[in-house]
């Protein structure tokens, strides 16, 4: 893995790809947009647990839906599958929503179904001379470009008084994380779960999780093309009803929900015990989501992660609250 000149390079390439999609790579709409089975790209994250539970416990079928789950590593990949019309819906944090919103406006968030203040962590090697946040200055820190982990890293550095330019930031894929640490090509990583815990486990006594002041609340969201929202609103209501059932199951039957999480992430109970309290599962569409998207867009423009010609959209246009209002009216608290 070769260090990139700056984290801007990776996201500029991403932005270029998105422009290409807008200008001419449109594909026929996913078959699910016209009825029948709903396909969902689901990130292999603890935050996706309501989807895993709904599938395994038969809640989708109980709502009269045929649902096909396509797992992917990282919400940024899941949302791209949805935008490329390979699936009908996708799960992701709000970061991929923001990145894509600067290039297109044909999709929207249908619901937030999970949140976390502790999903993303900075894991460092003690042998690199890192014992506290200030020690990251002058070090090589890897993260996943265009994701919540990338955004969190910048917030973490700024909160701790560290100039982001004083850190050599390398943009890698989740699959490159453990090799980069094992081969000592990086001194620390900012990663979401389960990769953060895997980094801790691999480093053993040499690893340290740097304390965080919980400066960022990550949301996990279900997004779809607006054409699908218009054509299949009744099915989206059923889908959200199934997720509501799943969230009640997680609350009432935590041990069984944990067993599902272990299977889907291929992790052990020690991992679940260490991270279970980091996640909250409930259906919402609220103003903090809109505010976070706006803040992320300002950050991306300020730091040059996207073309400076981009304009920050009105993020109320990137939520589709009607299906959730029919399932849980009190869960929608957007300001108009």
CA distance 128 to 137: 12
pLDDT at residue 126, rounded to an integer: 98
At 204 the three-state DSSP class reads: helix
pLDDT at residue 304, rounded to an integer: 85
Q: Which residues of the chain have pLDDT under 70?
A: 1-35, 336
At 258 the three-state DSSP class reads: helix
Buried b vs exposed e over 134-168: b needs ≥16 C-beta within 10 Å? Answer: ebbeebbbbbbbbbbbbbbbbbbbeebebebeebb
Helix 94-101 × helix 148-159 angle, to 10°: 100
To which CATH superfamily is domain 7-115+219-333 assigned?
Periplasmic binding protein-like II (3.40.190.10)
Asked whether this chain's domains 7-115+219-333 and 120-209 adopt the same fold, the reply is yes
Task: List the Cα angle 186/45/329 in 5-degree steps.
Answer: 135
Tokens coding 49: 């647990």
pLDDT at residue 18, rounded to an integer: 42
pLDDT at residue 34, rounded to an integer: 46
Q: What topology is assigned to 120-209 in CATH?
A: D-Maltodextrin-Binding Protein; domain 2 (3.40.190)
pLDDT at residue 22, rounded to an integer: 38
* pTM for this predicted structure: 0.88
CB 267 within 8 A of CB 302: no
What is the domain partition of the chain in residue ranges?
A: 7-115+219-333, 120-209
pLDDT at residue 1, rounded to an integer: 41
Q: E strands along 84-151, which residues? A: 89-93, 107-116, 120-125, 140-144
């Amino acid at each position: 893995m070769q260090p990139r000149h700056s984290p801007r390079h990776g996201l500029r390439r991403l932005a270029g790809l998105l422009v290409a999609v807008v200008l001419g790579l449109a594909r026929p709409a996913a078959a699910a947009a016209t009825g029948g089975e709903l396909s969902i790209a689901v990130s292999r994250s603890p935050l996706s647990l309501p989807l895993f539970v709904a599938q395994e416990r038969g809640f989708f079928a109980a709502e009269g839906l045929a649902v096909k789950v396509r797992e992917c590593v990282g919400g940024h990949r899941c949302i791209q599958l949805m935008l490329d019309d390979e699936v009908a819906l996708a799960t992701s944090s709000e970061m991929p929503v923001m990145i894509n919103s600067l290039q297109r406006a044909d999709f929207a968030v249908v619901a937030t179904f999970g949140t976390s203040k502790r999903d993303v962590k900075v894991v460092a090697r003690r042998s690199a001379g890192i014992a506290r946040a200030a020690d990251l200055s002058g070090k090589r820190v890897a993260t996943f470009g265009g994701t919540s982990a990338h955004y969190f890293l910048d917030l973490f550095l700024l909160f701790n008084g560290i100039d982001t330019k004083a850190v050599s930031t390398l943009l890698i894929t989740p699959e490159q994380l453990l090799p980069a640490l094992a081969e000592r090509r990086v001194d620390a990583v900012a990663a979401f779960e389960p990769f953060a815990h895997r980094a801790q486990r691999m480093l053993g006594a040499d690893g340290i999780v740097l304390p965080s002041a919980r400066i960022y609340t990550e949301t996990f969201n279900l997004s779809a093309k607006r054409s699908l929202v218009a054509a299949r609103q009744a099915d989206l209501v059923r889908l959200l009803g199934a997720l509501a059932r799943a969230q009640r199951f997680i609350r009432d039957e935590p041990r069984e929900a944990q067993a599902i999480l272990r299977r889907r992430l291929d992790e052990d109970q020690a991992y679940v015990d260490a991270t279970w309290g980091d996640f909250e599962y409930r259906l919402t569409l609220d103003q903090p989501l809109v505010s976070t998207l706006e803040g992320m867009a300002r950050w991306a423009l300020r730091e040059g992660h996207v073309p400076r010609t981009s304009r920050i959209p009105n993020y109320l246009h990137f939520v589709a609250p009607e299906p959730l209002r029919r399932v849980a009216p009190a869960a929608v608290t957007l300001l108009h």
